[in-house]
A = this chain, B = another copy of it.
Amino acid sequence: MSQEIHGYWSAPALGEWMRRVFEAMGCSVEDAATAAEVLLEADLKGIDSHGVARLPGYVRLWRKGRINPRPVWRWEQRMPAVAVLDADAGLGLVAARVAMDRAVEMAAVYGTAQVLVRNSNHFGIASEHALRAVPHGMVGWAMTNASPLVAPYGSSERLFGTNPLCYAFPAGRRDPMVIDMATSAAANGKLELAAARSQAIPEGWAVDAQGRTTTDPLILQNGGALLPLGSNPAGGVHKGYGLGALVDWWSGVLSGASFGPWVPPFVDFLEPAPDQPGPGLGHALGATAIEALMPLEEYNRRVERWAERILAAETAPGQPPLLLHGMPEWESRARRLEQGIPYTEARNRSLRNLALELGLDTIDESPPNLR
């Protein structure tokens, strides 16, 4: 699979086309716009694995009846600052936003709040949800469990997903600081990239079907599994195992969703395991109001001082200056808004086929800098 850039789509054209795909699935106008916006943010921020690349997968799950395009949100609220959303098998892209906005509303009253989601699907990039809190002067967070791909060190079984966790902090005059990380040592996309380049992967990323260390980039297609962050006992792999479990406890066990190895697969050709502990994927979102702690201006001065100190840090010989958290993604976003979103020939072909299948026009390919 060639990774060569074949052309560029403008962000508005790509977003508009994705919106029409979600409408063709039967989503409401509003939900289709939200879902397209969440995917587009991934493409803008350079997280290419989580943007339009996932769209054909969502369509396939919808065709299988595993994504409900017209969900009815069901809320449960047993205490003032915590709520649970049953997403009715709808798009996680939309359910997580709805949940986050509710967390922000509650945090504005109580200072901090959490919303857990069950019966959901993949929610895209976590940061797009966590960041909803920031314009309200709040810290936001978002986690999700995911299809099992990770084997705890010493096991040969896929027991967790890459279970990402994300925190977004306002940073005064700077772009918000964002931590958005899979709790595995490497994400699946890094193995795909190595495979496309016929390169071995470093030890510590994956094991084979017997749980032995491997450098084969295609090992996931052959029954292998990813390793948790830390990779091995000397590297602190029990910490990555702990973080993956933590995300599963919040998102799955506490929400009422499925969890662990039972989490339904993202691919349509694998059926969910029988005897599910709960419906669909689960997410955990939350927000804390900075004004609950100190005046926002005081926080801004403090966080800017933090950021400036990091940027001024001494570096080791031959090393570039330190980056702030989320900086590469903000830089990609600015660049791609200007230059457009690059695509490969394979991606273009796959989306043309999707357009044909759904009876839609293809993505408008006039040069991005004309829009």
Contact = CB atoms under 8 A, between A and B. Distances in A.
Contacts of A322: 152, 154-155
A306 B260 CA distance: 7
Interface in A27-83: 78-82
Interface centre among A154, A207, A255 (most CB of B within 10 A): A154
A330 interface: no
Label chain A's interface by main secondary structure.
mixed
A320 B82 contact: no
A128 interface: no
A257 to B, nearest CB: 10
A88 interface: no
A239 B294 CA distance: 28
B246 A179 contact: yes
B235 A231 contact: yes
Interface in A81-101: 81-82, 84
Interface string A169-199: 1000000010101000110000000000000
A293 B83 CA distance: 7
Query: Which of the listed residues A167, A239, A278, A288 has the most CB atoms from chain B within 10 Å of its own CB?
Result: A239
A211 B316 contact: yes
Contact of A204 (B113, B234, B293, B315): B234
A32 to B, nearest CB: 30
A120 interface: no
A293 B84 contact: yes
Interface string A218-249: 00000000000111001110111111011011
A166 to B, nearest CB: 10
Work out how many copies of this chain go into the complex.
2
A299 interface: yes
Contacts of A133: none
A185 B320 contact: no
A78 B291 contact: yes
A167 B202 CA distance: 31
A294 B11 CA distance: 42
Given A309-B260, A319-B155, A110 B80 contact: yes
| Max chain B C-beta neighbours (<10 A), residue from A202, A260, A288, A305 | A288
Contacts of A169: 249, 253
Interface of A: 78-82, 84, 109-114, 116, 139, 152, 154-157, 159, 167, 169, 177, 179, 181, 185-186, 202, 204-205, 207, 210-212, 229-231, 234-236, 238-243, 245-246, 248-249, 253-256, 259-261, 277-278, 286, 288-294, 299, 302-303, 305-306, 309-310, 313-317, 319-320, 322, 325
Given A156-B315, A159-B309, A256-B294, 9 more contacts: A112-B113, A112-B114, A179-B246, A186-B234, A186-B236, A204-B234, A212-B317, A229-B235, A229-B240
- 6 residue pairs, one from A and one from B, having the closest CB atoms: A211-B316, A79-B111, A82-B111, A179-B242, A82-B292, A154-B319
